[in-house]
Amino acid sequence: MASATQSDHMIDDLPPARGHWRNVWSKFRRRRLALVSLILITFIYLLGIFAPVIQTHDYQQTDLRRTQQGPSTENWFGTDRAGRDLYTRVVWGIQTTVIITVATFVTGSLILGVSIGLVAGYFRGWIDAVIMRVGEVVSAFPDILLIILLAATLKPRILELARDIEDSTGISGLVSSGIVDYLVIGIAMLPLSWFGMMRLVRGQVLVLRDAEYVQAARAMGTSTPRILYRHILPNVVSPIIVSVSFGLGGIALAEVVLSFFGLGVQPPRPSLGVMIGEVTARGGASVSVLRDHPEQLLAPIIVVWLLIFCWNIVGDALNDVLNPRAQ
């Protein structure tokens, strides 16, 4: 009896039990750099989401009397060669990045990558073998080249399809709204985004599928989808989160590269890549731009830079916090 009261007493002394995620959050919060990065990322994404509200000009509106101006109270970041307001265009460019990030990452990496990874890891056998071999073929290509090839060949086809749909259904503005561009970029990045995530999830599932609690669930006659999504998936969430946060910065960069090669979002719709491509005149002129009008190159580049840097810092911190072995 005595020992029981003693242990009761000890339990009283412990801090109140907290949920796993609250624990993670309180550990994450203590990393100052990661916290600042997360706040910065949120801020940048909010800028993009509220672009129509916080814009000071129209992103298309040119003003030929005020071209290549430096920063001023009228144009916070200055103006570009056509006299368009750089601040407004950066904000809209962030919106493009947000849309593409969500489109490619949520569809490609999360839904496709996670599902295929679960299936491959759980069923093993020939399904797994086929999926892995397909992935190996895809990852045999240098990333950027593959994205460029896919975008270059698919773009005209998808444009054609969209025009057909416009003609036959009478819906107009499908092509000019830019949806087609997002679709092309999303599809082009698909082979990139799913395989890494798939391999990660598969590796985890291969271990978990033989865990006792999964065997117990199976013995109780739980359906396979329920085992996969209710019993296995929650235990794979941590590495998924880490991998997503490392990947999100890369997506911003990939969009910039595609737009730089003229395969991304089409003008007049602004994107950070289009802005960089416009001032560097497809490469050669970037030195003179940086010397004479640095704000035109720096405004979009600093945003991309911050996104990549902050996502990496957040990813590192999450990796330490979520991965018990790293502690």
Partner 1 sequence: MLAYIVRRLLWTPVLLALAAFFVFFMGTCAPGDPAELRLGPRATEERIKVERTRLGLDRPLLFQYGKYVNGILKGDFGVSYHYQGRPVTELLLPKLWVSVQLNIAALIVAVSIGLPLGFYAAKKQGTGRDPAIVISMLILYAMPIFFTAPLLILFFAVKLHWVPAAGWDGFFSLQIILPALSIGIPGAAIFVRHMRASTLEVIGQEYVRTAHAKGMSNFVVNYRHIARNALLPILTIMGFTLAGMFGGSLIVELIYGIPGAGRLSLDAIFQRDFPVLTALVLLGAGMLVLANLVIDIAYTIVDPRIRLQ
By CB under 8 A, is residue 148 in contact with partner 1?
Answer: yes
CA dist., res. 42 & res. 232, Å (int): 30
Binding mask 112-141 for partner 1 (x = CB under 8 A): ---------------------x--xxx-xx
By CB under 8 A, is residue 260 in contact with partner 1?
Answer: yes
CA dist., res. 180 & res. 263, Å (int): 12
Provide the minimum distance between the beta carbon of 280 and partner 1 in the complex, in angstroms, as a whole number: 6
Helix (H) / strand (E) element for 100: namely: helix 86-101
Residue with Cβ nearer partner 1 (9 or 291):
291
CA dist., res. 225 & res. 313, Å (int): 35
Nearest to 247 by CA among 176, 318, 299, 181: 318
Tell me how far apart the 2 most distant CA atoms of the chain are, in Å: 89
Provide the minimum distance between the beta carbon of 151 and partner 1 in the complex, in angstroms, as a whole number: 9
CB 151 within 8 Å of CB 257: no
By CB under 8 A, is residue 35 in contact with partner 1?
Answer: no
Provide the minimum distance between the beta carbon of 239 and partner 1 in the complex, in angstroms, as a whole number: 16
Residue with Cβ nearer partner 1 (138 or 217):
138
CA dist., res. 58 & res. 78, Å (int): 14
Residue with Cβ nearer partner 1 (150 or 227):
150
Number of H helices, E strands in the chain: 15, 0
Residues 6+ apart with CB under 8 A from 4: none
Provide the minimum distance between the beta carbon of 40 and partner 1 in the complex, in angstroms, as a whole number: 12
Residue with Cβ nearer partner 1 (165 or 216):
165
Provide the minimum distance between the beta carbon of 249 and partner 1 in the complex, in angstroms, as a whole number: 7
Residue with Cβ nearer partner 1 (76 or 246):
246
Interface with partner 1 by CB under 8 A: which range of 21-29, 107-115, 234-242, 294-302?
A: 294-302
Residue with Cβ nearer partner 1 (33 or 211):
33
By CB under 8 A, is residue 304 in contact with partner 1?
Answer: yes
Residues 74-93 that bind partner 1 (CB under 8 A): none
Q: Which two tokens stand for residue 318?
A: 């999450």
**φ/ψ (deg, to 5) at 74:** -75, -50
CB 47 within 8 Å of CB 40: no
112-133 as b/e, with b when 16 or more CB fall inside 10 Å?
A: bbbbbbbbbbbeeeeebeebee
Residue with Cβ nearer partner 1 (158 or 217):
158
The footprint of partner 1 (CB under 8 A) covers 33, 133, 136-138, 140-146, 148-150, 152-154, 156-157, 160, 249, 253, 256-257, 260-263, 276, 280, 282-284, 286-287, 289-291, 297-298, 301, 304-306, 308-309, 312-313
